[in-house]
């Protein structure tokens, strides 16, 4: 730290002129006025540009404030030349439109979403753009940017300054900043601010006046002013990769939107904005690797706006992308396929393109084979991409789906040219790696190594340790196939060294597997076994069920082979028995690797037992599978041929043995494999010592244990967040159907369920509350299901006893498909079955990995959730019952007066969100001759007459209409979306029904158990006043009733038994 004894501007200016640092910071500047220094510098030094920015404690409404505000000012001075400047500076092409739109309108525009695989690369490009622009405007005259109160700068500026400090790049400008406090304006990012100050100290970039003290500022940052358009601000910061600040704006907007008063204004527009806000909040957290927060927002999107098909498709696509990031490929593919179906039903090309993109990423990152599956939609995807300017995604698709050697190589070259045009080196590098891998698989190792060497230097410069580790893995594979086992081992060790800094256990396991295979080929079985033991420990600790580049069965086969050569026969049997040989019935060659290893090892084991005939049968099958193998196990061919030929010779089949050995020799000659050529020519192998002491790899298991702890904590947080989200749904309202739909959808998304069923069993009545995809259960199905479920006393997950098999078979019949796993939860109270819940996953052969298996942990979570869910439904039903009692006339079961006013007022309130005005009609009804019935037959008959008349009224109303007992013998009928012509028809129908029952004579006779006589002029009838209006916010309900009442009065006065219409 440089301490200035004087506080004069001249001394400071002299110090800055002599200092070569890019950033200088004045700490403890309580008595130093940077603005005065700015004035002084301008006055005496005209050889430099000076720009002064005073920062205040306020919400920064501009990304990289105040850095970009000056850029904006300069660009606006030369607005007409903006395109040429950006091109001259070679600004990343995608970012040119972002900068131009923001400078010209203050609102960022971008055609294509930020790709998940690109966001780090693009963020770095945006940082480079700011640096290039500052260099451009200081190329002729050195620039000094003076920032007062850096502790009030935007967080994106703090991040950029930290990045800029680490760049070893010549620049024509310097930054001089002051801080008024060590406390950053946003506590959340205090650590990052402290890191910047520490880095500046370390670089000797801090100036301090020795007579100054720290000014602590505890004032809270002001809330975001309501005058800001929060969504626009959030979007601007998002596309400038200032995710943390973008999240703040979107979070506040989300809180505003879910406020009921906000949503009343224009529900359709607000719902669209809500969807956008939730997508952005999810995206931000996905990019920042906050997977559980991303999951929460995407699920809110799915559940809050579930009736909107387009938004539901967006939600499924984001959930699919999240599962790709979490390496849950089966769930990702399931969601991607559901989103495609919705996109197809909407005939929405852009949505379909996004679904296709997900299929591509799943195949590219999730398939353990190294070639992309057949894309039947490739032409349509390419066409849509060009139509909607989705060129970044198109470049990835073309360069990764096709290769130079494929029949569609023109697609590969088109994609490569496109990536170069877009200046997307991330895509070019990824394409080179993919191409190298494809050539390796095809056995074209000399071409493969050229691509690996192309990217090695670039990745080293970029500091991309993960992809550099992948490259070293590929280079190791190349040297292994060339029998340069020591050199291959060297590259595998280099890969592991890098992976120690960047844990990726999929790649760590792949490297260990390659290292074990390399040692096996080199006859260093001890090293091979130790590598495989570490690999198995990692798989066990992390509970891995597959890896990107291989399967667990394939690993078991290789481990059993290693143990055979070490003489560990028991272990060999143990691991070979773990391989699922039911795959042998499949004819798609997807499991040839595992089946080759299985049959190869079985051949060795039977030969070891002296059962040569059985041994030869397995060797023959292994040979058949070997002919289909195109991957890394091809390198085992010479070793396999050697063992097969030895077995044939042992039973006297010398000619066959020799012929087979000749094939092996030719194979080695074609590939210049001298090591195994020598062995096949009956020379003893020269063992390679690859270092069986692998103590330097002890970190791998420790890292796996730490990762397992982290995963367990994340899973616990995941569980807590899931419960919290579920509780929000359960407490979200009193709409039973919405709660059921939202709750079940959440379970389906969370556990990748294919079907679920909820049944209530009460008082010998079985009611289906929910059946997924509206799969109907017949009365017979429901009876059979209940019979089975009554015999199950405890929740369980996929059992094998007789009862459970019956349930399993029952549901296979219901969904017409094979089950993978099933959870059954009977709810029993006082030894009585009151409800039951079933959920299941099915075997889907179209998925990359169809094994979505429900387990005991899932059972615990789902059991707890379902019990709370059912309790909530019971509570809602109880509340609905109370509401019905409060809103219902106790005698007739019709709405009462209070309920009428409440309901119509809600209709008016909801109508405010729509511009279309619907016609309504109101009937005011008064019974004719009702007094005669009361006086003649008694009040019990009078009450019955009111009930019977109410039943007639109920037959006249639809689901959007309602009948009301208004008081005494007065009734109302309210008809929504009803014309006067329709009202007249309803009135005529009412009189027809009354005339047909002849004043309820027959019912009264039955009630009194005697014959009665009612004069025709005393038969029960009614007079009706009808009025019309429109449902709008201006509707006055009291006046509406009054108009109908006046029409009723006219009808009564003019002779009863007819209706009078009050025309508006």
Q: Which domains does the chain have, with CATH numbers?
A: 2-209 (3.40.50), 223-366 (1.25.40.10), 524-697 (1.25.40.10), 731-883 (3.30.450.40), 888-1062 (3.30.70.270)
Task: Pick 887 or 599 by higher pLDDT.
Answer: 599
Q: Is the per-residue pLDDT at 364 higher than 80?
A: no
Please, which residues bridge with residue 285 across strands?
Answer: none
Q: Which whole number is the average pLDDT over 948-963?
A: 91
**Cα–Cα distance measured from residue 429 to residue 765, given in angstroms and rounded to the nearest whole number:** 64
The pLDDT tens digits for 770-803 are: 888 777 888 888 989 999 988 888 888 886 566 6
Residue 370 contacts residue 631 (beta carbons within 8 Å): yes
Instruction: Give the HSE-up count for residue 562: Cα atoms under 13 Å, Cβ half-sphere.
Output: 27
Q: What is the pLDDT of residue 267?
A: 58
Instruction: Tell me if residue 817 falls in helix, strand or coil.
Output: coil
Q: What is the pLDDT of residue 732?
A: 63
∠ Cα 108 110 115 (to 5°):
125
H or E element, residue 821: strand 819-829
Q: Is the per-residue pLDDT at 943 higher than 60?
A: yes
Residue 514 contacts residue 476 (beta carbons within 8 Å): yes
**Cα–Cα distance measured from residue 35 to residue 846, given in angstroms and rounded to the nearest whole number:** 68
Instruction: Tell me if residue 483 falls in helix, strand or coil.
Output: coil
Instruction: Provide φ and ψ at 966, rounded to 5°.
Output: -85, -25
Q: What is the pLDDT of residue 373?
A: 45
Q: Sort residue 822 into left (φ over 0), alpha (ψ -120 to 50) or beta.
A: beta
The pLDDT tens digits for 398-414 are: 887 766 655 677 887 88
- Please state, as a whole number, how many other Cβ atoms lie within 10 Å of the Cβ of residue 353: 24
Q: Is the per-residue pLDDT at 693 higher than 70?
A: no
Max Cα separation, the chain? 125
Please, which residues bridge with residue 206 across strands?
Answer: 25
**Cα–Cα distance measured from residue 101 to residue 106, given in angstroms and rounded to the nearest whole number:** 7
Window from 53-67, 431-445, 793-807, 1050-1064 with minimum mean pLDDT = 431-445
Instruction: Give the HSE-up count for residue 376: Cα atoms under 13 Å, Cβ half-sphere.
Output: 0
Q: What is the pLDDT of residue 374?
A: 47
**Cα–Cα distance measured from residue 807 to residue 792, given in angstroms and rounded to the nearest whole number:** 10
Instruction: Tell me if residue 203 falls in helix, strand or coil.
Output: coil
**CB contact set of 222 (below 8 Å; sequence gap of 6+):** 57, 58, 59
Band the pLDDT of 218: cuts 50, 70, 90: very low
Q: What is the pTM of this model?
A: 0.71
Residue 52 contacts residue 96 (beta carbons within 8 Å): no
The pLDDT tens digits for 601-611 are: 999 999 999 99
How large is the angle between the packed helices 465-481 and 425-441, nearest 10 degrees?
A: 20
Q: Which whole number is the average pLDDT over 530-539?
A: 90
Q: What is the pLDDT of residue 1?
A: 46
Q: Which whole number is the average pLDDT over 964-977?
A: 93
Nearest to 91 by CA among 49, 134, 61: 134
Q: What is the pLDDT of residue 99?
A: 93
To the nearest whole percent, how much of the chain has pLDDT over 70? Answer: 88
Task: Pick 960 or 192 by higher pLDDT.
Answer: 192
Q: How far is CA 271 from CA 264, 276, 519, 532, 542, in A?
A: 11, 9, 60, 54, 41
**CB contact set of 451 (below 8 Å; sequence gap of 6+):** 432, 433, 435, 436, 439
The pLDDT tens digits for 974-986 are: 998 899 999 999 9
Instruction: Provide φ and ψ at 741, rounded to 5°.
Output: -60, -45
Instruction: Tell me if residue 755 falls in helix, strand or coil.
Output: strand
Q: Is the per-residue pLDDT at 631 higher than 70?
A: no
Q: Is the per-residue pLDDT at 852 higher than 90?
A: no
The pLDDT tens digits for 104-141 are: 999 999 888 999 988 888 999 999 999 999 999 998 89
The pLDDT tens digits for 698-727 are: 888 888 888 778 777 776 776 776 777 677
181-190 long-range Cβ contacts below 8 angstroms, 24+ apart: 181/151, 181/214, 181/215, 181/216, 181/217, 182/151, 182/214, 182/216, 183/151, 183/216, 183/217, 183/218, 184/151, 184/158, 185/57, 185/151, 185/152, 185/221, 186/155, 186/221, 188/244, 189/155, 189/158, 189/244
Nearest to 973 by CA among 1001, 944, 991, 953: 953
The pLDDT tens digits for 165-212 are: 988 888 889 999 988 888 888 888 899 999 998 888 888 778 776 544
**CB contact set of 389 (below 8 Å; sequence gap of 6+):** 111, 112
Residue 709 contacts residue 508 (beta carbons within 8 Å): no
Residue given tokens 């190594």 in the structure block: 449
Band the pLDDT of 743: cuts 50, 70, 90: confident
| 220 preceded by a cis bond (ω within 30 of 0) | no
Q: Which two tokens stand for residue 451?
A: 């691509």
Q: What is the pLDDT of residue 405?
A: 57
Instruction: Tell me if residue 924 falls in helix, strand or coil.
Output: strand
Looking at every residue in the chain, the average pLDDT score rounds to 84
- DSSP of 869-912: HHHHHHHHHHHHHHHHHHHB-TTT-SB-HHHHHHHHHHHHHHHT
Q: What is the pLDDT of residue 5?
A: 42
Q: Which whole number is the average pLDDT over 653-678?
A: 89
Q: What is the pLDDT of residue 559?
A: 93
**CB contact set of 177 (below 8 Å; sequence gap of 6+):** 23, 24, 25, 26, 146, 147, 148, 150
Q: Which whole number is the average pLDDT over 74-102?
A: 88
Q: What is the pLDDT of residue 260?
A: 54
Strands (E), 89-213: 143-148, 173-178, 206-209
Q: Is the per-residue pLDDT at 55 higher than 80?
A: yes
**CB contact set of 576 (below 8 Å; sequence gap of 6+):** 556, 557, 560, 598, 601, 602, 605
Q: Which whole number is the average pLDDT over 355-375?
A: 66
Q: Is the per-residue pLDDT at 638 higher than 70?
A: yes
Q: Is the per-residue pLDDT at 1025 higher than 90?
A: yes
């Amino acid at each position: 730290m440089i301490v200035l004894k004087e506080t004069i501007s001249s001394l400071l200016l002299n110090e800055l002129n002599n200092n070569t640092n890019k950033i200088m910071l004045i700490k403890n500047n309580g008595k130093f006025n940077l603005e005065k220094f700015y004035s002084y510098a301008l006055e005496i030094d005209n050889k430099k540009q000076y720009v002064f920015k005073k920062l205040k404690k306020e919400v920064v409404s501009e990304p990289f404030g105040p850095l970009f505000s000056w850029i904006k000012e300069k660009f606006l001075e030369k607005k007409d030349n903006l395109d040429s400047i950006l091109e001259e500076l070679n600004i990343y092409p995608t970012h040119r439109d972002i900068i131009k739109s923001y400078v010209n309108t203050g609102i960022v525009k971008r055609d294509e979403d930020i790709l998940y695989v690109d966001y780090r690369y693009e963020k770095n490009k945006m940082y480079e753009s700011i640096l290039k622009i500052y260099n451009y405007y200081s190329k002729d005259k050195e620039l000094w940017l003076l920032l007062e109160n850096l502790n009030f700068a935007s967080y994106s500026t703090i991040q950029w300054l930290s990045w800029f400090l680490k760049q070893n790049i010549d620049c024509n400008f310097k930054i001089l900043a002051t801080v008024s406090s060590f406390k950053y304006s946003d506590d959340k990012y205090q650590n990052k601010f402290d890191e910047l100050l520490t880095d500046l100290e370390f670089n000797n970039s801090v100036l301090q006046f020795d007579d100054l003290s720290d000014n602590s500022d505890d004032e809270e940052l002001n809330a975001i002013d309501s005058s800001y358009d929060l969504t626009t601000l959030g979007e601007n910061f998002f596309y400038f990769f200032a995710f943390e600040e973008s999240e703040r704006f979107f979070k506040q907007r989300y809180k505003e939107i879910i406020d009921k008063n906000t949503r009343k204004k224009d529900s359709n527009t607000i719902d669209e904005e809500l969807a956008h806000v939730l997508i952005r909040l999810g995206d931000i957290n996905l990019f920042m690797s906050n997977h559980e927060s991303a999951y929460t927002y995407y699920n809110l999107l799915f559940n809050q706006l579930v009736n909107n098909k387009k938004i539901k498709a967006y939600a499924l696509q984001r959930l699919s992308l999240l599962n790709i990031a979490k390496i849950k490929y089966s769930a990702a593919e399931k969601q991607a396929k559901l989103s495609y179906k919705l996109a197809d039903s909407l005939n929405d090309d852009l949505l379909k393109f996004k679904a296709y993109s997900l299929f591509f990423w799943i195949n590219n990152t999730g398939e353990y084979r190294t070639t992309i599956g057949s894309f039947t939609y490739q032409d349509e995807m390419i066409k849509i991409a060009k139509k909607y300017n989705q060129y970044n995604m198109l470049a990835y698709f073309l360069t990764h789906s096709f290769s130079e050697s494929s029949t569609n190589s023109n697609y590969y070259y088109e994609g490569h040219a496109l990536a170069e045009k877009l200046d997307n080196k991330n895509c070019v590098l990824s394409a080179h790696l993919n191409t190298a891998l494809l050539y390796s698989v095809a056995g074209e190792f000399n071409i493969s190594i050229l691509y690996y060497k192309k990217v090695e230097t670039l990745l080293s410069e970029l500091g991309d340790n993960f992809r550099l580790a992948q490259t070293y893995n590929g280079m190791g594979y190349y040297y292994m196939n060339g029998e340069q086992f020591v050199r291959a081992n060297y590259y595998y060790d280099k890969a592991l060294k890098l992976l120690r800094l960047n844990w990726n256990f999929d790649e760590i396991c792949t490297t260990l597997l390659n290292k074990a295979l390399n040692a096996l080929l080199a006859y260093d079985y001890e090293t091979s076994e130790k590598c495989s033991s570490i690999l198995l420990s990692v798989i066990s600790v992390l509970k891995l069920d597959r890896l990107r580049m291989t399967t667990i069965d394939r690993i078991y086969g290789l481990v059993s082979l290693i143990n055979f050569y070490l003489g560990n026969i028991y272990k060999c049997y143990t691991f070979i028995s773990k391989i699922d040989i039911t795959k042998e019935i499949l004819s798609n060659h997807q499991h040839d690797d595992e089946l080759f290893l299985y049959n190869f090892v079985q051949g060795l084991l039977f030969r070891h037992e002296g059962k040569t005939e059985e041994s030869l049968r397995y060797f023959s099958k292994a040979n058949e599978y070997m002919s289909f193998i195109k991957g890394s196990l091809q390198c085992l061919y010479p070793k396999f041929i050697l063992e097969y030929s030895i077995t044939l010779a042992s039973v006297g089949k010398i000619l066959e043995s020799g012929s087979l050995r000749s094939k092996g020799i030719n194979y080695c000659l074609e590939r210049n494999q001298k090591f195994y050529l020598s062995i096949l020519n009956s020379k003893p192998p020269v063992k390679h010592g690859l270092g069986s002491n692998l103590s330097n790899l002890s970190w791998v298991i420790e890292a796996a244990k730490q990762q397992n702890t982290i995963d367990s904590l994340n899973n616990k947080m995941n569980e807590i967040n899931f419960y919290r989200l579920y509780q929000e749904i359960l407490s979200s309202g009193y709409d039973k159907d919405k709660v059921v739909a939202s709750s079940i959808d959440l379970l389906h998304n969370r556990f990748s369920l294919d079907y679920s069923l909820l049944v209530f069993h009460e008082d010998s009545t079985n009611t289906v509350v929910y059946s997924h995809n509206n799969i109907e259960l017949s009365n017979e199905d429901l009876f059979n299901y209940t019979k089975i479920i009554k015999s199950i006393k405890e929740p369980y997950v996929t059992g094998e006893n007789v009862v459970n098999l019956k349930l399993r078979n029952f549901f296979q019949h219901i969904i017409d498909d094979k089950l993978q796993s099933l959870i059954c939860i009977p709810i029993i109270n006082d030894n009585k079955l009151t409800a039951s819940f079933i959920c299941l996953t099915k075997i889907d052969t179209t998925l990359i990995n169809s094994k979505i298996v429900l387990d005991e942990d899932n059972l615990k979570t789902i059991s707890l959730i379902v019990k709370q869910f059912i309790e909530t439904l019971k509570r809602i039903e109880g509340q609905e019952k109370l509401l019905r009692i409060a809103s219902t006339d106790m005698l007739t079961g019709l709405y009462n007066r209070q309920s009428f006013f409440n309901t119509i007022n809600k209709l008016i309130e909801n109508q405010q969100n729509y511009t279309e005005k619907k016609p309504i009609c109101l009937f005011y009804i008064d019974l004719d001759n009702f007094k005669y019935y009361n006086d003649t037959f008694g009040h019990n008959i009078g009450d019955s007459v009111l009930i019977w008349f109410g039943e007639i009224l109920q037959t006249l109303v639809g689901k959007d209409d309602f009948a009301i007992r208004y008081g005494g013998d007065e009734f109302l009928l309210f008809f929504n979306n009803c014309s006067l012509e329709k009202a007249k028809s309803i009135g005529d129908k009412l009189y027809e029904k009354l005339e047909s029952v002849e004043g309820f004579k027959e019912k009264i006779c039955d009630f009194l158990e005697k014959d009665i006589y009612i004069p025709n002029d005393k038969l029960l009838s009614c007079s009706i006043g009808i009025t019309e209006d429109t449902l709008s916010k201006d509707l006055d309900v009291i006046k509406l009733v009054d108009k109908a009442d006046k029409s009723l009065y006219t009808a009564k006065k003019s002779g009863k038994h007819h209706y009078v219409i009050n025309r508006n």
